[in-house]
């Protein structure tokens, strides 16, 4: 209990993330991706592509909701737009990775993961392997016997074979409750930045030196109300998020994180 109170106190005193720009985007419902020239706003079965400089919409992909019922997030990884997809709120939970050409927004291929340890909500790549966040819920979309405490980070190889997995610390799970992790991305500082479903916060974590529970390093307040996030790799400490209520993409400058 004492450690949880200390973490929450640190979160309350942390410097807020500065909003440097807003992009109106009707598709800003699940998350956002970004590359050097464009911003990609993600809805359940739609991706809107926007010019990063002007904010003008320059492209759109619309999928069949029966085939793509719930795109949770996307990330520009190399030359591809890689999206985490699930059958939420249906159960049993099934997940897939949907890959697009970011230039044309043409759908290229599907990696069908099927039933996993939860519902796939985000994917990133680091150190030559895949990292994926799997959500579990207390209510709608959850499965009997598993709640938000079963939210899991899984490390996969290039053939999507499970290599390792970690759970989240109680201090972060308490903020997820009753939902789960909606977004995640590795920062240039080697730390993992994770968001929940609703709270305007980013949870900064790192892999433990022992055991299978991630370490909670810091909590950063932000303007985005949870949901999926993306780092702009062309500049330092610039995080993209969304406001579901306003249907906007938010560009936020993160404060530095002190790591002991």
Residues 118-155 have pLDDT tens digits of 999 999 999 999 999 999 999 999 999 999 999 999 99
pTM here is: 0.92
User: Is the pLDDT reported for residue 17 higher than 90?
Assistant: no
Q: CA–CA separation, 85 vs 90, rounded Å?
A: 13
Cβ within 8 Å of residue 166, ≥6 positions away: 152, 153, 207, 208, 212, 213, 214
Backbone angles phi, psi at 210, to 5 degrees: -155, 155
- What average pLDDT does range 82-87 have in this prediction? 98
Nearest to 123 by CA among 161, 77, 70: 77
The average pLDDT across 241-260 equals 89
Length of the chain: 260
What is the b/e burial string over 123-160, where b = at least 16 CB atoms within 10 angstroms of the residue's CB?
bbeeeeebbbbbbbbeeebbeeebbbbbbbbbbbeeee
Q: Are 110 and 96 in contact (CB under 8 A)?
A: yes
């Amino acid at each position: 209990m004492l450690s949880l109170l200390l973490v929450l106190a640190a979160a309350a005193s942390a410097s807020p993330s500065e909003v440097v720009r807003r992009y109106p985007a009707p598709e800003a419902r699940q998350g956002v991706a970004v590359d050097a020239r464009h911003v990609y706003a993600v809805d359940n079965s739609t991706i809107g592509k926007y010019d990063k400089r002007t904010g003008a919409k320059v492209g759109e992909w619309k999928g069949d909701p029966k085939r793509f019922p719930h795109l949770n997030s996307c990330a520009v990884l190399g030359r591809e737009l890689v999206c985490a997809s699930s059958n939420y709120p249906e159960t049993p939970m099934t997940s897939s990775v949907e890959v697009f050409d970011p230039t044309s927004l043409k759908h290229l291929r599907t990696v069908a993961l099927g039933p996993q340890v939860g519902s796939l909500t985000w994917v990133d790549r680091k150190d030559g392997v895949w990292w994926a966040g799997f959500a579990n819920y207390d209510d709608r979309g959850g499965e009997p016997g598993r709640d938000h405490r079963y939210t899991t980070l899984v490390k996969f190889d290039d053939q999507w074979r499970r290599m390792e997995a970690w759970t989240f610390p109680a201090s972060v799970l308490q903020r997820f409750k009753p939902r789960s992790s909606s977004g995640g991305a590795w920062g240039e500082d080697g730390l993992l930045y994770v968001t929940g479903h609703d709270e305007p916060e980013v949870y900064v974590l790192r892999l433990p030196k022992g055991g299978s529970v991630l370490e909670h390093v810091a909590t950063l307040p932000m303007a985005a109300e949870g949901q999926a996030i993306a780092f702009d790799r062309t500049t330092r400490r610039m995080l993209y998020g969304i406001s579901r209520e306003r249907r906007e993409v938010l560009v936020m400058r993160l404060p530095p994180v002190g790591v002991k």
